[in-house]
Structure 1
Amino acid sequence: MRIKKLLYIFLVSLVMVFFTSCGDSKTKVIYKKDGYPDLKGRNLVVYVASREDVGKLLLEMFKEKTGCTYEYMRMPTEEAVARVRVEKDYPKADIFMGGTCDAHTVMKDEQLSEQYKSENAKNILEPYKDKDGYWTGFELEPLSIAINKERWEKEFKPRGIKVPTEYEDLLNPIYKGEIVMPDPKTSGTAYTIVASLVQSMGTDKAIEYLKGLKSNVGQFTVNGYTPCQKVGTGEYLIGINFLGDQLMMKKSGFDMITNVPKNAGWTIDAISKIKKGPNEDIANLFIDFCLSEEGANALKNISMGFPTREDIDMSYKAKTLSDLEIYKEYDFYKAGKEKEFLVDMWEKIN
C-alpha cells in the first residue's frame, strides 16, 4: 500500500513538472542567426485603432521576421477600450495598438494594461511615453481641417470667402450642413477635438464654440478616418480629423486642402500591453519591434504621422512639428481623466 502511495505521489509530481516545464518553454524564446526570435507556432492577437495599413504593415513585418502568425481587429478607439474592459477577467487580445493617447491613460487608470518598458523605448522622446511604462508612443498626429479643393474652387471661391484655416472659420453659417466630423462618443479623434478645445479655450468658451460648430455639422461619423474620405469624394466640403488621415487621402489621389489650425489638439499613437493577455511574452517582443528603428523607418513609407523616435530622419516631410502652431500644452492625462465629464458635456450641447 505504501509503495502504491509513493508511486502515486511520484506520478503526480511528474505531471506537475511536465506542465511547469511546458509553461516555462513559452517564455524561453530561441533567437535565429539574424537576431530575430523564432516564433513559429505562436500567434498574436491585436486590437488596432490606428489606420489599418499601419497596423497591418507592422504585423506583417513581424510575421515575416519571426514566423509569428497574428489576428487583428480594426475598430474605433472607444470600441477597442470597451472591448478590453468587458474582457478584463478573460482577456482575448495581447496588444492594443493606436488610438488616441487619452484612451491608453484610461486603460492604465483602470488597470486594463500592464507595464512593459521596452529597451527600444529609450530612443522615444520623454513626452511621448508613459513614465511608468504602461504605454509608449510610436508617432504623433495633429488635428487638421480638410477642404475639398474642387468644390471649394467651383462653389465657394467665387463668393470671395477665405479658405478655412482656423477653427473660428468653421462657424460661418454658409457651411451649415457642409461639415463632417467624428462623434466623441465613439471616436478618439473627436474626443481629442473636444478635450483640446476645452483645455485651450476654457470650458465656457469651448461650449459656446462647440454649440456653433455642432449646428453646422451635417454628419457625425463613428470613426475618425471617415470624415476625410467623405471630403475627398466631395460628399462634404469640410472635415475635421487627424492630418495623417488627410495626407493619406491626398496621397491616394484625392485633391484636398489641409490646414492645421492654430492651437490644434494632437495625439500620440501609442501601443499598450493588455493585462494578462494570452501571449504576454510575444506581446513584449512585438512592442520591441514596433518601437525599433526598423519599425519606425518602415512606417515612413506609408504613414503621415511624425515619428516619436529622436533618431529618425524627418527631412522627407514638408513640415516638421516645430513648423506647426499646435497647442503644445495639451494634456492627454487630464483628457483621459475628464472623458466621462466631457462626453456628457458634448451630449448636452444643442
Structure 2
Amino acid sequence: MKLKNWCVGFTLLGMVCSVSAETLTVYSAGPKGLSKELVAGFEKETGAKVSLYQATGGKIMARYQAEKSNPHADVMISSSLGHAITLTKAGELLAYQSPNAKHVPDFLKSATYVSQGTAVLAIAYNTQSKLPVPTTWSDLTKPIYKNQVTMPDPRKSGSALTLVEGLSEQMGSKAWTLFSALKANGILIPGANKAALNPVLQGAKSVVFGAVDYIALDLKRKGETINVVYPTDGTVLAPRPIMILKSTKHAVLAKKFVDYMLSKQGQTLVAKTLILPARSDIKSDRPGFGELKLINFDTVSAAAHAEQTRDKFANIMGQ
C-alpha cells in the first residue's frame, strides 16, 4: 500500500493537491528494539506511517482503557494473553485471521488475536554461583537455596502471573504449598521481571524462579554470567498477542500490519530477539516448541480468575 495523491480542490491556475496517508497507531509491550524494527520494516514495505507507543503490558492496557471515550489505538501487542482474552470477552476486538497465521499453532491464535511470539518461563541462574544447578521448580525450596532466590511479582508481571496460573492448575493445592515453601525459604519478590533478574546478575542472589527466558538468553549471548534451565516438571508459555481494536478507523491497514508481523521477515526479526517465534517454520537459536515440556491449562478460565490468583499469591507472600 503506497502513499497516494488526493486532489482536494481546483483553481483557475490549476489543480491543488495534497498528500494524504493513513497513520496506524500501535501500542506495544517491548522489547523496544523489536517494536521499532518491526515498525520500520512495515513502513518501508507499505509506505504507511505508524505512531508507536511502547510501555509494559499493564501500561498499554491501562492507556487503552483510559481512552475508551476517544480511542486512539488501532493495534495492540501485549505481553499478556489475559488482555486478549478479556478484550475478546468484552467484544472489543476485530475478528481477523491472517493468511500467514496458517503457520501458527492453534493454541497461539483465535478468531480475534494471534501471537507475535512467546516467551517461556524458566529458571535463570548465575553461573558463578557455587550452588547446584536446579532442575525442578521445587528444588528452589531446598535449604541450600535459602535467601538466594528471586521471583517477578505476578501483580506487575503478566508472565509471572501466567506461571502461577499454570502451576496452580497442574499441581492444584500443591502449587500453593510450593509458594509457601518458597516464602519460608526467603524468596525475594522485588518487582517486575528486570527487578527480579538484576540481583542475580549482580551476584547478590543466585536464582530467578520464573524468569522470562528470552531476556536471560539475550544477556547470556552478550556475555553475562547467566544461564537458563527449563524445569523437567514442565513450564508455561507467555504468548504476546497481537489484537486489532474494533474501534479502529484503519481496519485494512491494521490487517496488513498483522500480516507483516506474521510474515517471514517479521518473524525473523522476532527470532533475532530470542523470543520464540509464533510461526513454527521460522528457525530460532533457542529451544523450540518440540524441545519444551509445556503445561497446558485453561487460559480463558485463568483470565477470569486472575485477580483472585494474584490476591492469593500476595497473601501467601505477605505482600
Q: Shorter-chain TM-score: what band?
A: 0.7 to 0.9
Distance 1:237 1:122, change over 3 A: same
Distance 1:118 1:108, change over 3 A: same
User: What is the aligned-residue identity percentage?
Assistant: 25
Give 1:345's match in structure 2, choosing from 284, 290, 312.
312
Contact 2:104 2:278 in 1 (8 A): yes
Secondary structure of the residue aligned to 1:200 is: helix
Give 1:167's match in structure 2, choosing from 134, 137, 150.
137
Aligned counterparts of 1:283 and 1:207: Cα–Cα separation in 2? 42
Give 1:331's match in structure 2, choosing from 295, 298, 305.
298
Secondary structure of the residue aligned to 2:69 is: coil
Give the letter aligned to residue 323 of structure 1.
E
Note the alpha carbon deviations across 1:152-186, whole angstroms, 9 max, x for none.
13xx3xxxxx2222110111244344322221112
Note the alpha carbon deviations across 1:7-65, whole angstroms, 9 max, x for none.
xxxxxxxxxxxxxxxxxxxxxx5589xxxxxx974322222124222222211211222
Alignment partner of 1:205 is 2:174: yes
Distance 1:175 1:264, change over 3 A: same
**Total equivalences in the alignment:** 300
Distance 1:98 1:229, change over 3 A: farther
* TM-score, structure 1 normalization: 0.78
Give 2:252's match in structure 1, choosing from 281, 288, 310.
281
Give 1:196's match in structure 2, choosing from 153, 158, 166.
166
Determine the structure 2 residue equivalent to 1:43. 23
Distance 1:74 1:264, change over 3 A: same
Give the letter aligned to residue 45 of structure 2.
K
Greater helix share, structure number: 1
Which structure 2 segments of 5+ residues have no match? 5-18
Contact 2:276 2:286 in 1 (8 A): no
Give 1:120's match in structure 2, choosing from 78, 90, 100.
100
- Listed as ranges, the matches of 1:149-298 within 5 Å are 149-150=127-128, 152-153=129-130, 156=131, 162-202=132-172, 204-215=173-184, 216-221=186-191, 223-239=192-208, 240-261=210-231, 262-298=233-269
Q: CA deviation at 1:67?
A: 3.1
Alignment partner of 1:67 is 2:47: yes
Contact 1:77 1:186 in 2 (8 A): no
Give 2:276's match in structure 1, choosing from 283, 306, 311.
306
Which structure 1 segments of 5+ residues have no match? 1-28, 33-38, 157-161
Secondary structure of the residue aligned to 2:26 is: strand
Give the letter aligned to residue 256 of structure 1.
I
Aligned counterparts of 2:20 and 2:196: Cα–Cα separation in 1? 40
Aligned counterparts of 2:300 and 2:34: Cα–Cα separation in 1? 24
Contact 1:178 1:237 in 2 (8 A): yes
Determine the structure 2 residue equivalent to 1:322. 290
Determine the structure 2 residue equivalent to 1:135. 113
Aligned counterparts of 1:31 and 1:42: Cα–Cα separation in 2? 8
Secondary structure of the residue aligned to 1:317 is: coil
Contact 1:40 1:66 in 2 (8 A): no
Contact 1:63 1:69 in 2 (8 A): yes
Give the letter aligned to residue 93 of structure 1.
A
Q: CA deviation at 1:270?
A: 1.7
Larger radius of gyration: 1
Greater strand share, structure number: 2
User: What RMSD in Å do the two structures reach over aligned CA positions?
Assistant: 2.4
Secondary structure of the residue aligned to 1:140 is: strand
